[in-house]
A and B are shown apart, each in its own frame.
Chain A
Amino acid sequence: MTTYIFRRLLLLIPILWGVATITFFLARVAPGDPLSMLAGQRELSEERRAQLEKELGLDRPLIIQYADYMTDVIKGDLGYSFVYKQPVTSLILECFPRTLVLAVSAMVVAVIIGIAGGMVSALLPNTLYDRIAIFLSLLGISTPVFWLGQLLILLVAVNWRLLPPSGYGGLPFLILPAIALGTQSVALLARMTRATMLEVLGEEYLRTARAKGCTPVQVVFRHAFSNALIPIVTVVGLDFASYLSGSVLTETVFSWPGLGRFIVGAIANRDYAVISGAVIFCAFFFVLINLIVDILYAWLDPRIKYA
């Protein structure tokens, strides 16, 4: 297992190298010279331009710039934002905890409602509850998060005045964005849990467990659910990874000052240093969470052996 984890960590190096390389060259092939891109929409005088080119090493050959860039990325330096006049890494680290709070809350909503709903559906197949749950999960998967966010604001915050419509603060500010962000995962998890539980509930070892005198609760939770966990963990892991990076739309709708909204601000300012830095940062988390999910497989199912 340790060898497997070590090998997977080693494999991350070429992937992250590829991610950083693509990000570097994407920024170079974009219209406009790198200096104008770094400066965003602001005008630069010729003198200032020459001075900055020298300071930033942009007057040197591209391959040297690339080598410098990669060295900086390895050191954790993701560039400098001319718009905010701060290093990109510190800007990202400032916003990231707020995105993490939102992502964890959304995942808690998704896991509790999705798994519970899916299990009840599997235990009562083809009943009215099951059909309603299937319909709702299909609707949940198909509803765009930014539109759902608007509807939640309209109904819960504006019409019923139960929660604040947007902003950052305590628990009341967190509930609506967490529900909006978690809805698609609720739907996916409910479908996945239902499908895998239905498959597992038909297995012969469950009949054996019942014959041995296990209570229905023991059969469902100890024998059936624990064997249905792998696909559920996959969905949770992948969705959580995408929440950390892809909550751009939810944070915009609810004015949540996390990484996603910060990226949207960078888009508006054409702050390419921030955009590329955020892409590398999020890709790092994305591959890391995928690795954790893979390791969890072996823990959940001892039959899985990693050579």
Chain B
Amino acid sequence: MLDRRALKRIYRNPLVHVGLALSMLLILTALFAPLIAPYDPYGIELVERYQPPSAQHWCGTDELGRDVFSRVVYGARISLLIGVSARSVALLIGVILGCMAGYYGGWIDQLIMRAVDITMAFPFLLLVVAIAVLIGEGLFAVFFALASVSWATMARLMRGQVLTVRNYEYISAAKAYGAPGWLVIWKHILPNCFAPALVWWTMGLASAIMAEAGLSFLGLGAQPPAPSWGSMIQNGGDALRVYPWTSVFPGIALALTVLGFNLLGDGLRDSLDPKNLRNAVG
């Protein structure tokens, strides 16, 4: 896991603070959306359509008179749900396969790494789009597509970590005691791989959220009337020249969210990089 020195470096890193603040803002907005949003995000009020930002509607209203601020607030839920779930499942698959490849080697390693090579040979967004199209539109398709494409980088990273750790003496000692492979991986190898996995997961949240918005923009993600930021930007694009607020505010929310997770990931990477830790000691 993380030692005290790494935690201290995380605590002292200003990038982590800003990233954490923006990420927490997203998480809290998603959790308390019903309390924060002043209007029903699905509530249609045709007489109120395309109202500019005002004291009543902070971010204006859209083509159906729905409150844009309330929809942006509820949109945080979709972004977070897809980002966290797709990334976590990819992490789980990547950790299991990467550990197996690195620990057992031989034909298992060859098989898994060739699967990794093939998955990484596809351009990311295009493969995600293709899978989402074949499964059918909707949030499950986005989740499935993102999870089934993102695991490969984690598996490669984890294999590298396991290869470094597996020849250490304490691993040999555990094996000599007769510990089964899964126990050695679980108790002795995985804790050593926690830091890179955490950085990978955090940095990937930003790209997963961006990809979800991109798919929704193309009409493959959340379906109307669900308040996804990507589909809101797409809908707003039609009226952009006259009613820019319908697209500008969901875009700001999306950019701030991605910025938050990027900063958090960057900060964690800087704090947990063994090179930086060595410099701090030396």
Chain A residues within 8 Å of B, Cβ to Cβ: 14-16, 18-19, 22-23, 26-27, 29-31, 138-139, 141-144, 146-147, 150-151, 153-154, 158, 241-242, 244-246, 248-249, 252-253, 263-264, 267-268, 270, 272, 275-276, 278-279, 282-283, 286-287
* B131 with A26: CB separation less than 8 A: yes
Residue of B nearest to A15 (CB): B121
* B126 with A245: CB separation less than 8 A: yes
Interface string of B116-136 (1 = CB under 8 A from A): 011001111111011101111
B210 within 8 A of partner (CB): yes
Binding site secondary structure of chain B: helix
Contacts A26-B131, A142-B262, A150-B240 known; A287 to B125 CB distance under 8 Å?
A: no
A18 to B210, CA, bound (A): 27
The 3 A-B residue pairs with the shortest CB-CB distance, nearest first, are A18-B118, A245-B123, A147-B251
* A158 with B130: CB separation less than 8 A: no
Chain B residues within 8 Å of A, Cβ to Cβ: 114-115, 117-118, 121-127, 129-131, 133-136, 206, 210, 213-214, 217-220, 230, 233-234, 236-237, 240-241, 244, 247-248, 251, 254-256, 258-259, 262-263
Q: How far is the CB of A92 from chain B (nearest CB, A)?
A: 13
Contacts A14-B114, A142-B259, A143-B258 supplied; 11 other A-B pairs, CB < 8 Å: A18-B114, A22-B122, A27-B134, A142-B255, A150-B247, A150-B251, A154-B240, A252-B217, A252-B218, A264-B218, A268-B219
Q: How far is the CB of A266 from chain B (nearest CB, A)?
A: 9
* B129 with A283: CB separation less than 8 A: no
Contacts A138-B263, A141-B262 known; A278 to B126 CB distance under 8 Å?
A: yes
Q: Please pick, from A19, A141, A242, A267, the residue contacting B133 in the complex, using a CB distance under 8 A.
A: A267
Contacts A18-B114, A263-B129, A267-B220 known; A246 to B251 CB distance under 8 Å?
A: no
Q: Please pick, from A143, A245, A248, A283, the residue contacting B255 in the complex, using a CB distance under 8 A.
A: A143
A246 to B126, CA, bound (A): 6
